[in-house]
């Protein structure tokens, strides 16, 4: 491990993390370093109270029979001075043969005030200069001057004058380390930067010691705006994400291991998940601006980590305080450099992250940036995931069975659901089995908890609605005549669309893809934790609504991360997020009325009557019978142009194909295996008539995208009805 004296200085210098080569001029910036009294107290105990049970013992005679022992130091502020309170045990004795005979013992307390000052001629050292000393007996009475009192004062001065923070001896080590963080800087510039570091300001605050460091950096005379990211740089975004996610996961695991506090571990989990959800958003819609989104998210996450790391360092005495102090200090310095000196050009490098992570654990066998997709049992245990009975691995290969037709016989109903993409004739049976699975897993989660009955009812409906919103109750689809898992472009998997990046380490990706029960069980666990830990804990059902707010809040968090738990009731959210929450709420209201099987509509089925599990679903099944019956059936599948004109202009449809003749487009539609509403309209282009086939009507783009997956081979165009209605009006 690094020497204790070097940690804080090392942390301060780390914040430069690879400064880009630029035309330079000298500039001075201030880096705030705040040490609260609990941290200072721990440092004092480790450096000055080294005896048993954090004591400091001083002998007052050559025989060792008369002594003063100080213990239980407590630091605070008294005006502009530091104050140290400690317990005193004075022992007076006479030497006897091989031992001491105790004459008397006196117990009391002392209060010492002192001023933190810079050591003359040492720019990186400060000491505690004693100002006053007071002693009290056990009843709290102030003692007057006496020989014993004077002896105690002398020993206190001796003890506390040794309380010094000296960083200078380790700067030579930093000169060797910094090139790994600033590879483009010339060696003489690095040396000058290190040598310029000094303590510039000290102030005693009510809650800690305020230290300001100054450092001379070399930067551009005038910062030029960065160009937008190039295509090549956009391609590198994925690798930068992987490095930052691996780093953050490593740090959070180390911090969670260092504490047994459920509250602190919950805070760490929230930071990790929010960062991963935001990483997912960045990768899904990368910004074209000059601002580095990964760096900004990295800094924000680290800033959120700071108070949690401070709590862990203070309340886990078995842990080494100094590595945590280095992280806290570096977080402050990162923000200062990024905010006050953007021209420095902070860049989060692979080597910088790796060396920074090793401040917490420098075991050579550990690579803190190792990015693994498989589940991590340590991560699961630390954050209490995966407690349900393990799903047994399928005997056959999980990834190689792409058969289109499932076996006729399955050992259990749940086995039957694996790799089942229902035909129109199977849709009713399929939906009833899926409903049974979703509620079975929800009920199992409820039975293993102490959740209130009214909340349990909300959770069961939440399960049904979330699976509808996320996948239309689908785990698999058919692509190129092969059954494959339903996976979105952003990596959301299966029935509950569990994102492989957000939940990396918590679940097995292969099982999420190829075991429908495992996917539903994982989703039920996430939803349950989010409802209990975020929606209920933040009392969302008390914010101008009823218990159904718990479902809305939980889904907002499930879709956007824990920090988005109140998104559904806010106005200042992106329109796309508002549409998602609105679509969920509409589905939830249907489920709340017993109409969960209306999910058949987004699978191309027709529904009639009440949507409880006991009612029939009209699936557009081919029937034998008269020609009149067949014709009637086909007319239901192909809507007329008035149907198109009557659609909400903001709703979406899938444009499938354009044909040169009306009979051709009708024949095209009849060949489609999907049930549901097809239609076509005429479009004139360059003097020719074309007939354009469309499918379905969807209130939001999310549902349209999921339906589009069923027509993947046609590469459908998702467009709103308003654009089609405009063409038809010409």
> Counting Cβ atoms within 10 Å, is residue 702 exposed (0-12), middle (13-18) or buried (19+)?
buried
Q: Check: CB of residue 679 under 8 Å from CB of residue 644.
A: yes
Q: Which DSSP state fits 563?
A: G
Residue 718 · residue 702 · CB < 8 Å = no
pTM (predicted TM-score): 0.68
Report the mean per-residue pLDDT for the chain.
78
DSSP one-letter code for 362: -
Distance CA 664, CA 660 (A): 7
Q: What is the pLDDT of residue 232?
A: 67
Most distant pair of Cα atoms in the chain: their distance: 122
**549-564 pLDDT tens trace:** 999 999 999 999 999 9
Determine contact, residues 217/193, Cβ cutoff 8 Å: yes
CA distance 509 to 486: 13
Enter the tokens of residue 433. Answer: 């089995």
CATH code: domain 627-729 is: 3.30.70.1070
pLDDT for 391 equals 38
What is d(CA 391, CA 347) in angstroms, rounded to the nearest whole number?
A: 43
% pLDDT > 90, the chain: 32
Report the pLDDT value the prediction gives residue 6, as an integer from 0 to 100.
Answer: 47
CA distance 85 to 203: 20
As a whole number of angstroms, the distance between CA 518 and CA 391 comes to: 6
Q: 718 near 701, Cβ under 8 Å?
A: yes
pLDDT at 450: 92
pLDDT digits (tens, 9 = 90+) for 350-375: 766 776 677 667 777 788 888 888 88
**401-590 architecture in CATH?**
Orthogonal Bundle (1.10)
- Low pLDDT (below 70) residues in the chain: 1-27, 146-148, 162, 165-185, 218-235, 284-292, 316-349, 351-352, 355-356, 359-360, 387-415, 606-637
In terms of Cβ atoms closer than 10 Å to its own Cβ (0-12, 13-18, 19+), residue 401 is middle
C-alpha distances (whole Å) from 426 to each of 191, 274, 417, 618 are 74, 40, 12, 11
- Domain-wise residue ranges, the chain: 47-168, 401-590, 627-729
**Cβ neighbours, 10 Å, residue 447:** 9
**How far apart are the C-alpha atoms of 652 and 33, rounded to whole Å?**
54
Q: Which stretch of DSSP H or E encloses residue 676?
A: none
**Helix ranges restricted to H, 341-426:** 350-357, 377-382, 413-417
């Amino acid at each position: 491990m690094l020497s204790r004296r070097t940690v804080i200085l090392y942390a301060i210098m780390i914040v430069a993390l690879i400064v880009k080569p630029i035309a330079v001029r000298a500039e001075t910036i201030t880096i705030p370093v705040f040490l609260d009294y609990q941290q200072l107290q721990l440092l004092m105990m480790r450096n000055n109270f080294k005896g048993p049970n954090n004591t400091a013992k001083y002998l007052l005679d050559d025989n060792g029979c008369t002594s003063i022992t100080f213990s239980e130091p407590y630091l605070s502020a008294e005006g502009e001075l530091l104050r140290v309170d400690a317990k005193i045990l004075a022992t007076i004795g006479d030497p006897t043969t091989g031992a001491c005979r105790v004459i008397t013992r006196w117990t009391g307390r002392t209060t010492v005030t002192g001023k933190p000052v810079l050591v003359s001629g040492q720019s990186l050292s400060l000491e505690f200069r004693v100002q006053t000393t007071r002693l009290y007996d056990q009843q709290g009475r102030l003692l007057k001057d006496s020989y014993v009192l004077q002896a105690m004062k002398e020993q206190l001065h001796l003890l506390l004058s040794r309380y010094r923070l000296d960083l200078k001896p380790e700067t030579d080590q930093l000169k060797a380390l910094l090139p790994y963080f600033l590879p483009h800087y010339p060696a003489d510039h690095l040396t000058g930067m290190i040598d310029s570091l000094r303590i510039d300001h000290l102030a005693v605050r009510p809650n800690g010691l305020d230290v300001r460091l100054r450092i001379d950096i070399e930067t551009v005379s005038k910062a030029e705006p960065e160009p937008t990211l190039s295509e090549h740089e956009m391609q590198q975004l994925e690798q930068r994400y992987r490095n930052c996610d691996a780093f953050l996961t490593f740090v959070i695991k180390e911090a969670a291991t260092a504490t047994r506090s459920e509250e602190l571990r919950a805070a760490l989990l929230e930071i990790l998940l929010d960062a991963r959800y935001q990483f997912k958003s960045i990768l899904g819609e990368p910004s074209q601006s000059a601002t580095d989104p990964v760096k900004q998210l990295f800094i924000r996450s680290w800033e959120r980590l700071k108070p949690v790391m401070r709590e862990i360092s203070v309340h886990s005495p078995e842990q080494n305080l100094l590595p945590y102090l280095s992280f806290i200090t570096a977080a402050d310095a990162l923000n200062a450099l990024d905010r006050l000196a953007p021209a420095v050009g902070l860049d989060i490098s692979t080597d910088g992250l790796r060396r920074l992570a090793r401040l917490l654990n420098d075991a050579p066998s550990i690579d803190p940036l190792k990015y693994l997709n498989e589940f991590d049992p340590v991560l699961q245990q630390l954050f209490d995931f995966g407690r349900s009975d393990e799903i047994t691995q399928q005997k056959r290969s999980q990834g190689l069975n792409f058969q289109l037709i499932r076996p006729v016989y399955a050992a259990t109903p749940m086995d039957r659901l694996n790799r089942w993409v229902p035909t129109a004739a199977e849709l009713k049976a399929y939906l009833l089995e899926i409903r049974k699975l979703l509620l079975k897993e929800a009920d199992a989660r409820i039975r293993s908890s102490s959740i209130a009955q009214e909340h349990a009812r909300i959770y069961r409906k939440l399960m049904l609605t979330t699976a509808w919103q996320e996948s239309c109750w689908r785990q698999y689809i058919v692509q190129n005549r092969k059954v494959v898992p339903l996976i979105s472009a952003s990596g959301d998997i299966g029935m509950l669309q569990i994102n492989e990046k957000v939940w990396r380490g918590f679940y097995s990706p292969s099982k999420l893809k190829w075991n429908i029960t495992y996917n539903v069980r994982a989703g039920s666990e996430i939803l349950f934790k989010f409802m209990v830990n975020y929606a209920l804990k933040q009392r969302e059902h008390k914010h101008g609504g009823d218990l159904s707010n718990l479902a809305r809040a939980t889904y907002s968090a499930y879709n956007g991360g824990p920090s988005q738990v109140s998104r559904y009731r806010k106005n200042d959210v992106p329109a796309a997020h508002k549409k998602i929450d609105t679509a969920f709420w509409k589905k939830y209201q249907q489920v709340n009325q017993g109409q969960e099987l209306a999910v058949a509509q987004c699978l191309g089925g027709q529904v009639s009557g009440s949507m409880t599990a006991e009612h029939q679903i009209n699936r557009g099944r081919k029937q034998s019978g008269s020609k009149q019956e067949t014709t009637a059936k086909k007319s239901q599948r192909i809507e007329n142009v008035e149907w198109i004109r009557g659609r909400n202009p903001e709703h979406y449809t899938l444009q499938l194909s354009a044909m040169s003749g009306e009979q051709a487009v009708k024949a095209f539609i009849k060949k489609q295996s999907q049930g549901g509403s097809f239609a076509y309209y005429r479009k004139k282009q360059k003097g020719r008539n074309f007939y354009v086939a469309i499918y379905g009507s969807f209130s939001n783009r999310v549902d349209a995208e999921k339906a589009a997956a069923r027509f993947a081979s046609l590469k459908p165009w998702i467009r709103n009805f308003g654009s089609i209605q405009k063409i038809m009006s010409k």
